[in-house]
A and B are shown apart, each in its own frame.
Chain A
Amino acid sequence: MEKSFENALAELEGIVKELESGTVELDDAINKYTEAMQLAKFCNEKLNNATKKVNEILTDDNELKEFKVEDEG
């Protein structure tokens, strides 16, 4: 299963805070940095390249159909 955006972001934040705390060994820090950059890339892709999702409606027959929101006015 693909990692969720929320989880990836939480992991990224965790690594940044850890590095900022200054308690990480240099070798470890470089590994973590690499990992964090991959997470950031993943998040960026999710944010920018994801196809715009359509609104959907789950009917009583458990069918997922596109749902058009009527325009205001």
Chain B
Amino acid sequence: MDENKYLKISEINNYIKTLLDHDSFLNKIFLRGEISNFKNHTTGHLYFSLKDDSARINAVMFARDAQTLDFLPSDGMNVLVEGRISAYPAQGSYQIYVEKMVVDGLGALYIEYEKLKKRLNAEGLFAKDHKKAIPKYPEKIGVVTASTGAAVRDIMSTIKRRYPICEVILFPSLVQGDSAAPNIAKQIKRADEYGVDTIIVGRGGGSIEDLWAFNEEIVARAIYDCKTPIISAVGHEIDWTIADFVADLRAPTPTGAAEMAVPTIIDTNNMLDNLKIRLNKNIKNMVNTKFIALRNLKRSFVLKNPMAIYETKMQKFTNLVEQLKQNMKTFLNDKTNKYEKIKGSYILQNPFNIIEKKQNQYEMLVKTLKLVNPLNILEKGYSLVQINNNVIRDSEQVHIHDIIDIRFHQGEVKAEVKEIKNAKIKSKTSK
């Protein structure tokens, strides 16, 4: 048997690498594709794959070239790259060594993600005031994730370790693939209806496609409608899914979610002890304070000198009586003064003066009356002539043969009209 015809793996891999490296076409190649499985290694090298509808190729960009990038590559981004194709003999794989890379629009998934995020945000699904507080000391936790894998293991072991008195119930769900989203939504609803204190929903990290179920609207709405507080834990640290925005609390990893969901039993015990210490200290302080207050009261001046109260009151009473006496005296003096004043008044001293005054007034009036009496004029020799008790002032008032009365100062007569001289007519004719 010719042993020499069998090659070592490294020999064939190296041979293929040589072939590729010598192909001038593959030495400078331009590709268009979408970034996926992006990893930013601590060395600064970037590892990812480029894909389109039907195929994918592994890609590496060394730190030296990556430093020239003016953007941060991430999963779902469409890019244009320039580089060379070569093989990695240790793995028997070929890949593109990217030297230059620019953004080629946004990846389709990324656009879809941004659109949904914007719409749900506008609708208020991420609103802070809709977020529920996570119970501090839950007794039952529901976990919605795959029944196998690191996520469920991390969550359950973390809770057991920190807070073993908490019951953990798994609501197993698909977390990847087309039916994952409706399945997750259904299990969230089940957990909510079953009655748990907190729900953790999530999965371990993966590519953007792997996590996609958590970017679906049906999951977002299930989380929003859930009455039980929900902690989301999808992927690793940097991946923010729509589910993370809707959840009441977002944990970077499944382990992180478990830590946020439960306290540690040691902390809880310490806190309880602390409360008991405070309680005892308090009641002791309170009793002490009251005791001291009581002792002080007992020692107080009044209790030691009960007569003091009486003395004070007595003093006050005496003062009041004195004051009353003084007031009474003033009052009486006032009234006496007033009386004396009235008694000494002029009118009371000379009551007849008023009568005399009134008599004088009367006499004055009589005199005045006499002066204005119409009959006084007769005394001087004038007479008053009347007809039927009317004073005659005009000859027209009488006719021939009328009887008229004439009154003198002393006595009166009746006379007959013999002749009338009409002064008016005369004066009329004279005009």
B154 to chain A, nearest CB (A): 9
Complex: A50 Cα to B276 Cα, angstroms: 20
Complex: A57 Cα to B278 Cα, angstroms: 41
Partner of A53, one of B164, B268, B279: B164
Tally A-B pairs: CB < 8 A.
94
A46 engages B165 (CB within 8 Å) = yes
Chain B residues closer than 8 Å to A9, beta-carbon distance: 136-137, 272
Task: Identify which of residues 133-170 in chain B touch chain A, using a CB-to-CB cut-off of 8 Å.
Answer: 135-139, 147-148, 152-153, 156-157, 160, 164-170
A40 engages B165 (CB within 8 Å) = no
Contact with A along B195-206 (1 / 0, CB 8 A): 001000000000
Chain B residues closer than 8 Å to A59, beta-carbon distance: 172
A6 engages B137 (CB within 8 Å) = yes
Task: Identify which of residues 53-67 in chain A touch chain B, using a CB-to-CB cut-off of 8 Å.
Answer: 53, 55-59, 64, 67
B275 engages A26 (CB within 8 Å) = no
Complex: A29 Cα to B287 Cα, angstroms: 10
Chain B residues closer than 8 Å to A20, beta-carbon distance: 278, 282
Chain B residues closer than 8 Å to A57, beta-carbon distance: 147, 169-170, 172
B165 engages A47 (CB within 8 Å) = yes
B190, CB-defined interface residue at 8 Å: yes
Partner of A69, one of B139, B156, B197: B156
Contact with B along A17-37 (1 / 0, CB 8 A): 001101010100110010011
Count of B residues near A, CB < 8 Å?
37
Closest to B148 in A: A70
B272 engages A53 (CB within 8 Å) = no
B265, CB-defined interface residue at 8 Å: yes
A6-B136, A43-B272 given; A67·B170 CB < 8 A:
yes
Partner of B167, one of A16, A46, A53, A72: A53
Complex: A57 Cα to B146 Cα, angstroms: 11
> DSSP class of B's interface residues: helix, strand, loop or mixed?
helix
Partner of A33, one of B152, B160, B167, B283: B283
B302, CB-defined interface residue at 8 Å: no
Chain B residues closer than 8 Å to A67, beta-carbon distance: 147, 156, 170
Complex: A24 Cα to B56 Cα, angstroms: 74
Complex: A4 Cα to B168 Cα, angstroms: 16
Chain A residues closer than 8 Å to B268, beta-carbon distance: 47
Partner of B164, one of A6, A40, A52: A52
A61 to chain B, nearest CB (A): 12
Chain B residues closer than 8 Å to A44, beta-carbon distance: 272
Complex: A4 Cα to B276 Cα, angstroms: 19
A19-B286, A29-B283, A33-B283 given; A50·B278 CB < 8 A:
no
Complex: A69 Cα to B141 Cα, angstroms: 16
A15-B279, A16-B275, A16-B278 given; A47·B156 CB < 8 A:
no
Chain A residues closer than 8 Å to B172, beta-carbon distance: 57, 59
A69 engages B157 (CB within 8 Å) = yes
B275 engages A12 (CB within 8 Å) = yes
Complex: A72 Cα to B153 Cα, angstroms: 8
Complex: A55 Cα to B136 Cα, angstroms: 20
Complex: A36 Cα to B275 Cα, angstroms: 9
Closest to A71 in B: B153
For the complex with contacts A58-B190, A69-B153, 13 further pairs of A-B residues with Cβ separation under 8 Å are A4-B139, A12-B272, A19-B279, A19-B283, A20-B282, A37-B276, A40-B276, A43-B272, A46-B165, A47-B272, A57-B169, A57-B172, A67-B170
Can you list 21 A-B contacts with CB-CB less than 8 angstroms, sorted by A residue number?
A13-B275, A16-B279, A16-B282, A19-B282, A19-B283, A19-B286, A24-B286, A29-B283, A29-B286, A30-B283, A43-B272, A46-B165, A50-B165, A53-B164, A56-B167, A56-B169, A56-B170, A58-B170, A69-B152, A69-B153, A70-B153
Chain A positions near chain B (C-beta within 8 angstroms): 4-6, 9, 12-13, 15-16, 19-20, 22, 24, 26, 29-30, 33, 36-37, 40, 43-44, 46-48, 50, 52-53, 55-59, 64, 67, 69-70, 72
Chain B positions near chain A (C-beta within 8 angstroms): 135-139, 147-148, 152-153, 156-157, 160, 164-172, 190, 194, 197, 265, 268-269, 272, 275-276, 278-279, 282-283, 286-287, 290
